[in-house]
Structure 1
Amino acid sequence: MNLTGGRGARRGVLIAGIVTVASLLAAACGQETTGQLQTAGDIAGLPVTHFESGLKPNAPKPDLTVENASNTEADQLATAAIADVSAYWAQELPQHFGEEFEPVAKLLSYDPNEPEIEVCGATTADAAMNAFYCPPEDLVAWDRGLLLPLLRERFGPMAIVTVLGHEFGHAIQFRLGDKAGIDESTSTIVKEQQADCFTGSYFRWIAENRSEYFSVSTSEGLNQVLASMFFIRDDAGQSASEQGAHGTAFDRTYAFQLGFEQGAKECAGINQQNVDERITEEAFHSDDIGSGDIAIDENSIDLLQRSLDQAFSGAGVDAPQIVDEGGTCGDGSGTPPATYCEDNNTVSIDLEELAVIGQPVDREAEFQGTESAGGLGDFAAFSEIASRYTQGIQKGVGASLDNSNAGLRTSCLVGAWAGVIKDEGNNPLVLSSGDLDEAIAELLQPRSLLSADVKGRPVASGFARVESLRLGYFDGSSACTQNYG
């Protein structure tokens, strides 16, 4: 985050929607599982499911030729992923685009630590920790030595399917051409957003149990998929206009969820105009302090209090006061490091613990899969506090605080606050590049407070958590009430 730098125009306080919560009945809480709240309703029209995601026990052996393939688990998963996504597009292209599917001409597996192979104008050593589609050769290639094992270890087998589904999406762009609005002048960010969207549409097909090879649950399975997409985000401070830009985690998960919810035909409509309207990837502003991170201390907490008070001033209720009292209420109950205490309308915080969470992300350690001395970033810490603050606002207008709708409404309202302070010249705090990704990082934590009810129970579905934050960010607080009661 950044201190107010006078950028942009005022977008208004959070009034619409919040003041009408009292007149609505909150939806009943679903079944609780291991300290989590079942997502109310469904996941984009599909039931909430819980099972181990991955290769089906009875999956057929792919009839594919892969150059330089090994017998490793990484290659087995990758080859099955290519066979599976090919089957998806063999159905999708004729049905929705009037095109017959043509398999890619070449598949290549490589280990960058082995003797170099010339591919697509470079060598496999140059392509370490990578997977890619090469249009001139109509080739999909992947690093089985470093990248795929890391993804498998960190996020499970469906992370490999995610990455190769994305690369195959580029092959589909090449085949569709004008029908996908893609030509030589198309920017990288548009191509990448469309490929992420195509990946989401493919995963919808898997989630509907139409795949011969893979199964994915709409709870833990999709959580792992979104976590892998978060992992391969661009660094904070990169501009979407740069060659090679892939998008922030916020942008990439948006595109994936668009495809999952609305299908490949909608993905083909992604273009420069609608990407520019919503993309969040931008370079750091010249007045950003510390590459967008400020210390979580008494001074910044005071700024946060003022920022939230200003944003929610239209709710017509007494604003909760943020107090450093250890993150629990007077009776010892709570959800540390931040707790909404209903008895005295305060948000009790553990400033020391939040300061650790607010440390800048150690991207190098994250990418290497090693222990990091860094945290999740300042906005992750601020968001946890803001989530408890918004529960005070919700209580003031008569909303329920102890079910799954309360968890989703909470993260949605935090998103709405983030939308208000984007380029908000009059607010004490302003979003910086990468802040929304820090919120995504918090949302994908098993113990996420951002999407938790007053008792600290997070909504089980990471897909629903991320979607609720995004809904508030783009559509404001009224959408939080309309969708989550």
Structure 2
Amino acid sequence: MGATLGDRRRATVTALAVAAMTLVAVSLTGCSFLSGGSSDGGPDITELTQPDTSPPPVTPIRGGTGTPSDRLAADVVHDVEAYWHLRFPPEFGRRWIPLHAFHAVDPAKPNLPPECTRRPIDMNKQALYCPAMDVIIWDRLGLVPELRAKYGNGGVLLALAHEVGHAVQERIGIDVGTQIRERSRYPPILLEAMADCFAGVVVRASVNGELAHVRIEEKDLDRALSALLSFRDPVGFELGPNAHGDAFDRASAFLDGYQNGASRCAAMTAQNQLFTQRGFTTVQELLQSGNLPLDELLASMVPDTQAWFTALVSSRGRRWAAPPLRPDSGCSSSSAARQGPVRFCPDSGTLSASPATLGSVHSRGDYATGTLVASRYALAALAALGKPVRGPDAGRAAVCLAGAYTRSLLDRNTSGFGLSPGDVDEAVDELLNQDYAARDATGTPPADQGFQRVGAFREGTLGGAAKCGI
């Protein structure tokens, strides 16, 4: 979070800092899409508009010893390919071309074609689609067991479905040659977003019971989405040939596929997608990891938030001035306290914050705090507009409006309060893991899951306040 955009004078980040960030990026990017070569054979251009009812392919899996993690990975990739075998024809008017092979590898001795791996260690805790050989490869000893232990079966499904998503790209014509010829149309971060989107399509099919072996329930989606977000790019990582996206970019693409289907994924372009990933622009941002101390954040953000929500209410034909945010005063009812560290008191129309409890939120990043502040000002604005501030719809509207406010900060190119790299990630993390921002004026915890809260925030970020029902 930056105090003012005007203070963000462009500075040269030291070569040492850039090198350090690059090393971190290489170790944490996770899923990969290697360039070079082309897949065996092109898509069958025979027009098909109905599901393919022929038996699904059973693409061979090379490697593995039959451990529980090996069996889970095998079930996942066979289920995912069977899904595309069935659904690819009506979606894209072509038959699904079976993958050449799946490889479950030990990173110490992958024994893979040189077209797919440069060094054995490159596969450590990684999965990738290799277009040169048309194969999916994964680390069977590190990646799959770790995902399964931390995130459940849904984490493994999402990670491997992402890689098959790159194979889907090849089969709809976005092959390596197309990517090279149309680099500006298909930058790397867009290709990763499309694969995340196609993974969302498959995860929805699993939730709906459409996969033969791997079934996850909606209540498991927060853990699954956390697995995907664990592969986000490091904070401050520049957009470039290795960019995969920040937490918002990846969650947004996944939700697009989950909610809207495969045709939406295929229609993604660099022009119709919002990517929030940003690189550090000053040495100070780099040294602070883009975060301000709590008192500096509130001193800078609160006046800006007041002004934005006052203007929003005025644009809807109401006269109102957003109240100040006061520490532990004027809003002490039990229902207000249940809202969390930042509260809106509907009886008095005031806002208050508890610095003692807000500190634990702020330790997760300054815009985790900022998201709570924006959501409580959103409730105050809803009240000023005569909208309900109690009930689940009020909580969703508050989160959506916090997203709309965040978009205004992303779009800002003049002096004033602004965002730093990592801020939108902090908002996503807060919404995925905590429900304070979605609580209504009574402090009632919402029934929505984290991924649904992220979805509401995304609606406001992409569509503005009009998407929030006001």
Structure 1 length-normalised TM: 0.77
Structure 1 residue 286 displacement after superposition: 3.1
Q: Are 2:431 and 1:431 aligned?
A: no
- Check 1:75–1:436 CA distance in 2 against 1; reply closer, same or farther (3 A cut): same
Please name the residue that 1:234 is paired with: 233
Q: Distance in 2 between matches of 1:98 and 1:331?
A: 58
Q: Once the 2 structures are TM-superposed, how far is the Cα of residue 284 of structure 1 from its aligned partner?
A: 1.9
AA aligned to 1:320 is P
Q: Work out which structure has the larger RCO, using CA pairs closer than 8 Å and 6 or more positions apart in sequence.
A: 1
SS of the residue corresponding to residue 122 of structure 1 reads coil
Task: Kindly provide the amino acid, as one letter, of the partner of residue 429 in structure 2.
Answer: A
Per-residue deviation, residues 80-108 of structure 1 (Å, max 9, x unmatched): 11111111110122222222222211211
Gaps of 5+ in 1: 9-61, 360-374
Aligned to 1:65, which of 44, 49, 60?
A: 60
Matches within 5 A, 1:207-356: 207-218=207-218, 220-240=219-239, 242-275=240-273, 278-286=274-282, 289=285, 290-297=288-295, 299-314=296-311, 315=313, 316-325=319-328, 329=332, 334=337, 335-356=339-360
Letter in structure 2 aligned against 1:189 = I
- The secondary structure found in structure 1 opposite 2:438 is coil
Q: CA deviation at 1:7?
A: 9.0
| Partners of 1:327 and 1:338 within 8 A in 2 | no
Cα distance between partner residues in 1 of 2:325 and 2:212: 53
1:252 alignment partner, SS class: helix
In the TM superposition, residue 5 of structure 1 has moved relative to its aligned partner by: 1.9
State the shift of 1:189 in Å: 1.3
User: What is the CA distance between 1:452 and its match in structure 2?
Assistant: 2.0
Would the alpha carbon gap of residues 337 and 6 (structure 1) be closer, same or farther in structure 2, given more than 3 Å must change?
A: same
What's the CA shift string for 1:384-422, capped at 9, x where partnerless?
122122212222222222211111101011011111222
Q: Does residue 418 in structure 1 map to residue 406 in structure 2? A: yes
Q: Distance in 2 between matches of 1:402 and 1:93?
A: 44
One of 73, 77, 85 as aligned partner of 2:72: 77
Alignment gaps of 5+ in structure 2? 9-56, 314-318
For the residue of structure 2 that corresponds to 1:255, the secondary structure is helix
Give the aligned residue type for 1:177.
Answer: G
Distance 1:319 1:228 in 2: 39
The question of 1:97 aligning with 2:92 is answered: yes
Local SS of the residue matching 2:294: coil
Q: 1:408 to 1:7 in 2, by over 3 A?
A: farther
Between the aligned partners of 1:215 and 1:116, the Cα distance in structure 2 is 30
The residue that corresponds to 1:177 in the other structure is: 173
State the 1:158 CA deviation.
0.6
Asked whether the 8 Å contact 2:59–2:99 carries over to 1, the reply is no
- Answer yes or no: is the 8 Å Cα contact 2:336–2:344 preserved in 1: no
> Residue 397 of structure 2 corresponds to which residue in structure 1?
409
Q: CA offsets per residue over residues 214-267 of structure 1, 9 Å max, x none?
A: 22333x222222222222111221223x11111111111221122222221221
After TM superposition, the structure 1 = structure 2 runs for residues 42-61 of structure 1, keeping only pairs within 5 Å, are none
Q: Which has the larger share of helix? A: 2
Instruction: From the superposition, tell whether residues 235 and 339 of structure 1 become closer, same or farther in structure 2 (CA, over 3 Å).
Output: same
Q: Residues 93 and 64 of structure 1: is their aligned pair in 2 closer, same or farther, counting only changes over 3 Å?
A: closer
Query: Corresponding residue for 2:371?
Result: 383
Give 2:196's aligned residue. 196
- Which residue identity is paired with 2:201? S
Say which of 111, 116, 127 aligns to 1:117: 111
Which range moves more in the overlay, 125-134 or 67-76? 67-76
Q: Deviation at 1:356?
A: 3.4
Equivalent residue, structure 2, for 1:450: 437
Find out whether 1:460 has 2:448 as its counterpart: yes
CA distance in 2, matches of 1:430, 1:153: 38
SS at match of 2:179: coil
309 and 328 in structure 1: CA distance in 2 versus 1, 3 angstrom threshold: closer
Name the structure 1 match of 2:23: none
- Out of 134, 146, 153, the position equivalent to 1:150 is 146
Aligned residue number for residue 127 of structure 1: 123
Letter in structure 2 aligned against 1:349: A
Deviation at 1:327, TM superposition (A): 11
**How far does residue 71 in structure 1 lie from its aligned partner after superposition?**
2.3
Residue deviations 1:22-45, cap 9 Å, x none? xxxxxxxxxxxxxxxxxxxxxxxx
Q: 2:117, 2:123 within 8 Å by CA — same for their partners in 1?
A: no
Task: Point out the more displaced range, 184-193 or 281-290.
Answer: 281-290
1:268: Cα distance to partner?
Answer: 1.5
Q: Tell me which of 458, 466, 470 is aligned to 1:478.
A: 466
CA distance in 2, matches of 1:333, 1:472: 25
Task: Find the counterpart in structure 2 of residue 3 from structure 1.
Answer: 3
Kept in 1, the 8 Å contact 2:158–2:224? The answer is yes
Q: What is the aligned-residue identity percentage?
A: 30
Q: Give the Cα separation in 2 of the matches to 1:292 and 1:97.
A: 43
TM-superposed CA distance for 1:178, in Å, is 4.8
Go from structure 1 to structure 2 and tell me whether the alpha carbon gap of 1:63 and 1:424 turns closer, same or farther (over 3 Å shift): closer
Structure 1 residue 180: deviation in Å?
11
How far apart are the structure 1 equivalents of 2:360 and 2:3? 20
Cα distance, 1:462–1:181 mapped onto 2, change above 3 Å: farther
Separation in structure 1 between the aligned mates of residue 228 and residue 383 of structure 2, nearest angstrom: 35
Give the equivalent residue in structure 2 for 1:162.
Answer: 158
Shift of the 272–312 alpha-carbon distance from structure 1 to 2, 3 Å rule, reads closer
Distance 1:132 1:421 in 2: 35
Between the aligned partners of 1:466 and 1:327, the Cα distance in structure 2 is 30
Contact 1:341 1:347 (C-alpha < 8 Å) held by counterparts: yes
Deviates most, 333-342 or 79-88: 333-342
